[in-house]
Amino acid sequence: MERIKREMTVLRGSFRFQENDGSLVSVSSGNHELPLSGAPFFSLGLRSQTGELVTLSSADFRFSCTEENDALLFHHSGHPGFPELCVRTAIREQDGMLHFRPDVRNVPFEYLLEWIDLPQPVLPEGGTIFWPQLEGVLIDDPRARQNSPWSRYHVLGFLGRTEGIAYSEGGYYPGVCQMQFLSWEKDGYVLYFGAHDLKHGTKAVEYEPLEDGTVRLSLQTFCGGAEPYLPEFDYVLSFRRGNWMDACSIYREWISHDPRMPEKGRLPALVKESPVVVIYPVRGYGDDKGRMDTCNEYYPYVNALPHVENYAERFESKVLALLMHWEGTAPWAPPYVWPPCGGEEELKKFSDALHAGGNYLGLYCSGTAWTQKSCILAYSRERECEEKGLKRNMIRGPKGEIEAVICCAPEAQRLGFDMCLTEEWPRRTLCNEFEKIRNADVDYVQFFDQNLGGAYHACYSRAHRHPAVPGAWQTEAMQSLLAEMTESLRGKEVLLGCEGAAADAYLRHLPFNDLRACWNYTRGIPVPGYQFVFHEYCNNFMGNQCGIHAAVDCRISPGHLLYRTAYAFISGDLLSVVLKNAGRIHYGWGASWDLPEPDQESVITLIRNLNAMRRKYGKFLQFGRMEKMRTELTCGAWDLAVHGKILSMPSVLSSAWTAPDGEQAEIFVNYLPEAQKIRLRNRGREKTMEIPPLTAIAVPESVFQSESVRACRI
């Protein structure tokens, strides 16, 4: 070990740390060194018996360092308030990456170890963060999240309320963050920070902007009160040349060894058909809120058949009609949604007609919440809850608090709580309700809407069948519930899904899901990180585009639906549309039906062309592995108006793929109603071509090995 007296730091392989406290000072790749600010090496969260959180910093412990075999051992002990508590961390370099594994012992009996946050790299100002929230987003202004109490960084815990509104789920994993890593890139180098935890325990995969412009990366890991805490996984740091895709490649390689992952390429029959998902409500006028005492023009259900059949013909594709506000109780009123509005026979008439035409039926549900009272209809379960003492089954905060925050407020859809999924009554109730739906002729049930990514939110109850602080037990409970529900299908071809892509821990049981990349326009620029990692295992659909009208200015950028459709296509996703009245395509769910609609013919033409391309090149777009682009693309620009600023986006979108047989191709999409000229540079060769309006082309890798352009288009 080389000791550097200047700065009192120790250089060990590719990283440097402070000699007096173990905080990380830098990591290196070759001659390129990245400063890490020397922040405290770890934080610990201890929960007292009265529910108070005590946060400890490594800076308050005595530090020493030893070596054992091939590991460097950090020892932190002698905290003035907790003198017996000790944290030992083994650090190894393996395959060019740093591996950290902590060992926490002697937590006082009057406390529970709730979480540990280690090793807390703090990155310099500038650079771009890849955050795996909602399939992936690139963030170049970390401080922007601090402008709202809803999005502001906070230490993850019970999802209560602050400043009168619901706490954001932040980087909750497994859930709204579907992977347990994030990265930071600048000047052609990328830092990867991940937890290689095959148990997929609860974490906050987060970034915290600091006052001096730096940003702290965090993998706050919930320990379930274990004493001693001896995790079976490592936190991994890697610094190398590359970008966010190279970081995704590290995670993709690691997750491929997870025995819980589904078989690659084993897509459900419905998904292989690449139907276009057509989404509309049978009550209300496109908003989740407000009174919905009467049905709209899409009820009785068969009233929608002419529109479904029209789109099947215009798209030259099968259609999955995905219904919202269909529940016979009240919209967004879980757990009881069945029978459907108007009764089972009315829905069956529609289902039979859809199936006769080769199309499919899907239903939105509302997850694992409990509805006390609807804010939409005169629906209440308050008396039942009181008489049966059902509150004992609900998620509790560390001081016994009880509430829910997802779509739950007087000004929202409902009032109620979240059910704790270790308890027998909630599990039995959810399985019973799902059984009622699966026995109907339904092809897809988005049962876990509002459980973003399949999340099971944190419960601190001391009366339930789980530890009194969050931990890996949550993931195990949700996995077992999903297994019970899917195994109950007994071969019946019904797909189960959730809101947002399914977190990796739940992917085996949630094979088709409603993506929410649209929300990331309020955070940064969406990127298909999830698809880069998981497309070989799972194809999802574009989603209902909820709230896109609040992020994108439809007056300045009326073509944004074309752009977002092309983005979904080059990401390998199935396409979807949301209908307003009269069967007209609208920008997304929640947009007022009075808002001027997008150009119908352009949207229809683009979807028809792209979906035909998706089927024709299914070896790439259905079964392929996404890769980094090998070709440099030069094209025009298109303006996207987001949150009061104009973003210049490429007029042609692209992605690269490797098929299961090893063949490689790149896909280019012109989503605009005018032809676009592009220049491609690969292997030192340049080729120029023109892409017709609203069309995609496929360029095989071999095209750059010959003088002729063999691009294929529909």
Tell me if 462 sits within 8 A of 410, measured CB to CB. Answer: no
Round to whole Å and give the CA distance between 534 and 516: 16
Q: Return the pLDDT at 704.
A: 66
Structure tokens that stand for 303 in this block: 């009233």
Q: Give whole-number Cα distances, 69 to 27, 66, 73, 90, 100, in Å.
A: 22, 10, 10, 11, 15
**DSSP H or E segment with residue 57:** strand 53-57
Beta-bridge mates of residue 105: 86
Q: Return the pLDDT at 38.
A: 86
Q: Return the pLDDT at 714.
A: 44
Q: Return the pLDDT at 493.
A: 83
Q: Return the pLDDT at 385.
A: 97
Round to whole Å and give the CA distance between 418 and 393: 9
For the chain, the domains span: 2-149+185-236
- What's the one-letter identity of residue 517? A
Cα 217 to chain center, whole Å?
A: 18
Instruction: Enumerate residues 6+ apart whose C-beta is below 8 A from 32.
Output: 189
Q: Return the pLDDT at 707.
A: 53
Beta-bridge mates of residue 576: 277
DSSP tag of 128? E
Residues 581, 584, 590, 596, CA torsion sign: negative
Round to whole Å and give the CA distance between 545 and 559: 15
563-579 b/e with 16+ CB inside 10 Å = b? bbbbbbbbbbbbbbbbb
Q: Return the pLDDT at 3.
A: 38
- Report pLDDT digits (tens) over 60-105: 999 999 999 889 999 999 999 999 999 999 999 998 899 999 999 9
**DSSP H or E segment with residue 666:** strand 664-670
Q: Return the pLDDT at 1.
A: 35
Largest CA distance in the chain: 81
Q: Give whole-number Cα distances, 551 to 512, 519, 523, in Å.
A: 25, 8, 10
Q: Return the pLDDT at 165.
A: 58
Average pLDDT per run of 10 along the chain, which is 714 residues long? 49 85 94 93 97 97 94 97 97 94 97 98 97 97 88 89 66 97 98 98 98 96 97 97 98 97 95 97 89 93 98 98 96 95 97 98 96 94 97 96 82 91 97 92 96 96 97 98 87 90 97 95 94 98 93 91 98 98 96 93 98 97 97 96 91 98 97 97 91 96 63 52
What is the distance in angstroms between the CA of the first residue and the CA of the last residue of the chain?
62
- Provide the edge-to-edge strand list for the sheet that holds 32-35: 2-4, 9-12, 15-18, 24-29, 32-35
Instruction: Enumerate residues 6+ apart whose C-beta is below 8 A from 293.
Output: 377
Round to whole Å and give the CA distance between 4 and 9: 6
CATH number of the 2-149+185-236 domain: 2.70.98
Q: Residue 83's CB: how many other CB atoms inside 10 A?
A: 11
Q: Return the pLDDT at 706.
A: 59
Round to whole Å and give the CA distance between 500 and 503: 9
The 3-class SS string of 611-630 reads HHHHHHCHHHHCCCEEECCC
Round to whole Å and give the CA distance between 337 and 433: 8
Instruction: Enumerate residues 6+ apart whose C-beta is below 8 A from 634.
Output: 678, 679, 680, 681
